Every structure is written in C-alpha cells, then in structure tokens.
C-alpha cells in the first residue's frame, strides 16, 4: 500500500477502511453480533470500533446485541424483523480447533469453531435479513467444512463479506462466489486520529515483547528474542492477568461499589476473589487505575450514546482499550506477534517489530496494509531481529536500549 506524503500512514489506512465501507447501504436499525467479554484486548477493540463506526456513519437503532458464544436466535428473530445483521470479530476458520487437536490429541472446546458456527447458524436462518461480515482473516483448512460453509454463504441472497488481506480476498472470491466480497483494513483502524489514544507516556528505554500465550512461535525466533543484548519485558496483554466476574452471561470488570454488592449477594465465590480483583485492578498500580478512571469517563463522553444500546455493552471494551494503550505506552519499542498489538503500535506511532503469527495472518496483513509503515519491520527469521531493532532504534527512539 502506498501512502500520501502529506497524511500520516495510519490515517491513510483509515481512509481506505472508510472508502471500502461506503459500499454499505444506509442502515437505520440493526443487530450487532460479536461482543466478547473475555481478556483478549484485540477482541474488545474489534467490537468497540464496530459500534463506533456504525454509530457515527449510520446511527442505527440497535435492536439486538450478543456474543457469538451465547446467541439466542429465537430471541433475536423476535426483535429484529428484517433489519440488517452486523457480524463482527476478525477471523473465520478452523485453525484453532486443528491446533487443539494436534496439541492435545483429541477434540475439545476449541473444536467448536464458535465464531464460524455462529456465522453459519445466523446466515442459514436469517435469509430475509441483509448480513454484513466485518473485515476478517479467512483460514478454513478442512475441505468438507469449507464446502459446507461456502454453500451456506452462497445460499444467502444478501451477504456482504469484508476481508482484511489479499489471501483471504482471493479465497473468498473463489469460495463465496455469490457473495459481495470486498477488501478492507481491520476495523480497529477506525481509531486512527482519535485524540484519546495518547496517554501520558513514561520516558523509558525499555522494550516490550507483547506475546501470544495460545500459540508457539518458532523456537529459534523465541531464542533470538530471549538473547537480545538488552532488557526485554515479556508480557501478554495485561488483561490476561485479571480476574473477570461472570454476570448475566457476560464477563465484565466491576467497580468498587458493584463488587461489594456482589460479595454481599454471594455472587463471587469468596472474599479471596474480591481481594485479588481489588489488588490486580487498583492497588497494584494505582497510577494506572487513576488514569483509567479519568480516561474512560472522557472517552465515554466523546463516544456519546449509541442508539438504543445499554452502555454495559461497551464499558468493558473501553476499559480494555485504555489498558492496552497504557501497557504499550510505557515502552519505547514493541516486539509482538499479536495483530492488534501491531495495529495499536501503528496508531500510537511506536517503533515495533512484527513477528509471525498463526495461519500467516501477520504476514498477509502486513503485506496488504502496513508494509510501508516506516517505523515497523516484519521479521520472520531470527538473524533479522537484532539488525531490525538497531535500525529502528537509531532512526526513531529517543533513548538507547539497555
């Protein structure tokens, strides 16, 4: 992708996103699918940006909202009529179920292909509703599953599929040949230019290795990261360290008052959980907690009210966005194999190294949208890592790495 010399790269990518989404007809009411109450910050960003885009450009009345794991299609049908359905997330495929089988030698929870199953269930049932699938990576490896999925997709009379890389685009055009297939960047680029992204940054010379914990990198690359001649802070998304409380079928982080109420009503297992939550989210890092409380209030005000949608559907995603921003802005350079770690680094203009990820999605996405980002390098060989870091450090960082 070639960027305009007069526009920041992330804004050029956002412009491509908005141009692609112009293909959608005006939407005055809809169902939003794809809420994820777990600890993966990337999943929260996808949901939040989906809500933000449609609220800003269409302002539809939200008739129904749900996660993919807890969808009630009967309740959905009773509320939405023939309104369009927006399917979020960022991945269509069976990669994780195959990984689970190869790792554990058996089928289990991961074999359920939750998002893909939800997609096919919704697309099969709601043929009178226009359906929009937001930008996805596609990797369906099982030929029989691909055949079944393609038939369901192609049987729908008004299905639009956005994909976020060239490989997925070619597959979708071939397999989902009766659908309207369009290429667009990840929806999280909708945050580009948002004034709230920049927090008070600490002036440090540290490097953060923001790693996946559900997928193993090549051993040689791991060794190259471990053996770098300076201190590297190795962490997953910080939210993976938190205790999240289940309530009404959703996972959410509670405020102090609501947590005390939960304790009194015995909805949390014991007081140890209460202490753990208080320590993790507040007392262990009071500076971050204060920042989050103030920032989320301002962000909610800038977001405004999403038409007919209770704020509980986006309170946790907003807090998760702050957590990701805060974690990353404590460091002068990032190394990551997380796609949304890469995207946030681009949005924040943080020099960073992008490592390979599952089912080649990093490489495909990088080639499609971010390979011309001057402060990013894609590294898939261990011997490339240190030279790439030194180059970025010399050109873009304010402090010497120690």
Would you mind telling me the total number of residues written for the chain in this entry? Answer: 402
Asked whether this chain's domains 9-191 and 195-249+291-396 adopt the same fold, the reply is yes
| Residue 267 predicted with pLDDT over 50 | no
Instruction: Decide which of 3.40.190, 3.40.50, 1.10.150, 2.40.50 is the CATH code for 9-191.
Output: 3.40.50
User: Is the Cα torsion angle 402, 344, 214, 249 positive or negative in sign?
Assistant: positive
pLDDT greater at residue 302 or residue 77: 77
Predicted local confidence at residue 283, as pLDDT: 57
Q: Flag the least confident range among 142-156, 255-269, 297-311, 386-400.
A: 255-269
Q: Which long-range contacts (CB under 8 A, 24 or more apart) does 35-38 make?
A: 35/65, 35/66, 35/67, 35/250, 35/313, 36/67, 36/68, 36/89, 37/67, 37/244, 37/250, 37/251, 37/252, 37/316, 38/244, 38/251
- What residue segments make up the domains of the chain, in order of their start? 9-191, 195-249+291-396
Residue 354 bridge partners (DSSP): 336, 378
Question: Are the C-beta atoms of 134 and 89 separated by less than 8 Å?
Answer: yes
Q: Cα separation of 127 and 181, whole Å? A: 17
Predicted local confidence at residue 359, as pLDDT: 78
The residues, ordered by sequence, that sit 6+ positions from 15 with a Cβ below 8 Å of its Cβ are 7
Question: Are the C-beta atoms of 137 and 363 separated by less than 8 Å?
Answer: no
pLDDT greater at residue 103 or residue 54: 54
Range 57-73 average pLDDT: 95
| Residue 252 predicted with pLDDT over 50 | no
Mean of the per-residue pLDDT values for the chain?
85
Range 153-182 average pLDDT: 98
Using one digit for the tens of pLDDT, what is the confidence trace for 193-243?
A: 998 898 876 657 889 999 987 766 678 888 899 899 988 999 999 888 775
| Residue 74 predicted with pLDDT over 60 | yes
Question: Are the C-beta atoms of 25 and 160 separated by less than 8 Å?
Answer: no
Using one digit for the tens of pLDDT, what is the confidence trace for 82-127?
A: 999 999 999 999 876 654 455 544 444 444 588 899 999 999 999 9
Predicted local confidence at residue 113, as pLDDT: 81
- What is the 3 state secondary structure string of the chain? CCCCCCCCHHHHHHHHHHHHHCCCCCCCEEEEEEECCCCCHHHHHHHHHHHHHHHHHCCCEEEEEEECCCCCHHHHHHHHCCCCEEECCCEEECHHHHHHHHHHCCCCHHHHCHHHHHHHHHHHHCCCCCEEEEEEEEECCCHHHHHHHHHHHHHCCCEEEEECCHHHHHHHHHHCCCCEEEECCCHHHHHCCCHHHCCCCCCCCCEEEECCCCCCCCHHHHHHHHCCCCCEEEECCHHHHCCCEEECCEEECCCHHHHHHHHHCCCCCCHHHHHHHHHHHHHCCHHHHHHHHHHHHHHHHHHCCCCCCCCHHHHHHHHHHHHHHHHHCCCCEEEECCHHHHHHHHHHCCCEEECCCHHHHHHHHHHHHHCCCCCEEECCCHHHHHHHHHHHHHHHCCCCCC
pLDDT bucket at 7, cuts 50 / 70 / 90: confident
Q: Cα separation of 49 and 186, whole Å? A: 10
Question: Are the C-beta atoms of 90 and 136 separated by less than 8 Å?
Answer: yes
Predicted local confidence at residue 268, as pLDDT: 41
With a threshold of 0.85, does the pTM exceed it?
Answer: yes
Using one digit for the tens of pLDDT, what is the confidence trace for 343-401?
A: 999 999 999 999 998 778 999 999 999 999 999 999 999 999 999 999 999 998 765 55
Which CATH architecture is the domain 195-249+291-396 placed in? 3-Layer(aba) Sandwich (3.40)
């Amino acid at each position: 992708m070639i960027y305009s010399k007069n526009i920041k790269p992330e804004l050029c990518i956002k412009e491509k996103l908005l141009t692609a989404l112009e293909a959608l007809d005006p939407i005055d009411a809809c169902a939003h699918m794809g809420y994820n109450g777990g600890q993966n910050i990337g999943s929260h960003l996808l949901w939040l940006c989906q809500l933000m885009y449609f609220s800003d450009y269409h302002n539809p009345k939200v008739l129904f909202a749900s996660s993919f794991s807890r969808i009630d299609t009967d309740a959905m049908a009773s509320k939405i009529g023939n309104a369009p359905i927006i399917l979020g997330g960022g991945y269509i495929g069976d990669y994780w179920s195959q990984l689970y089988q190869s790792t554990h030698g058996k089928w289990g929870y991961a074999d359920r292909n939750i998002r893909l199953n939800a997609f096919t269930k919704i697309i099969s049932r709601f043929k009178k509703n226009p359906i929009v699938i937001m930008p996805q990576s596609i990797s369906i490896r099982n030929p029989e599953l691909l055949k079944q999925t393609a038939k369901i997709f192609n049987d729908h009379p008004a299905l639009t599929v956005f994909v976020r890389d060239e490989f997925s685009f070619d597959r979708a055009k071939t397999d989902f040949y009766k659908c309207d297939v369009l290429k667009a960047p990840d929806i999280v680029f909708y945050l580009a230019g948002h004034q709230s992204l920049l927090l008070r940054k600490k002036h440090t010379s540290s490097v953060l290795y923001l790693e996946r914990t559900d997928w193993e990198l090549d051993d040689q690359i791991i060794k190259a990261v471990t053996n770098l001649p300076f201190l590297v802070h190795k962490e997953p998304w910080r939210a993976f360290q938190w205790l999240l409380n289940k309530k009404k079928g959703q996972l959410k982080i509670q405020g102090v008052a609501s947590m005390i109420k939960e304790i009194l009503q015995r909805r949390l297992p014991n007081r140890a959980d209460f202490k753990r939550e208080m320590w993790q989210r507040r007392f262990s890092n009071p500076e971050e907690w204060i920042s989050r409380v103030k920032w989320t209030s301002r962000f909610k005000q800038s977001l405004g009210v999403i038409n007919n949608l209770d704020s509980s559907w986006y309170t946790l995603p907003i807090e998760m966005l702050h957590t990701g921003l805060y974690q990353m802005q404590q460091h002068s350079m990032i190394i990551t194999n997380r796609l949304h770690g890469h995207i946030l680094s681009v949005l924040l203009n943080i020099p960073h190294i992008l490592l390979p990820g599952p089912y080649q999605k990093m490489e495909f996405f990088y080639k499609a949208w971010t390979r011309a980002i001057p402060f990013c390098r894609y590294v898939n060989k261990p011997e490339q890592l240190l030279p790439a870091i030194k180059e970025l450090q010399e050109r873009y960082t304010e402090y010497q790495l120690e």
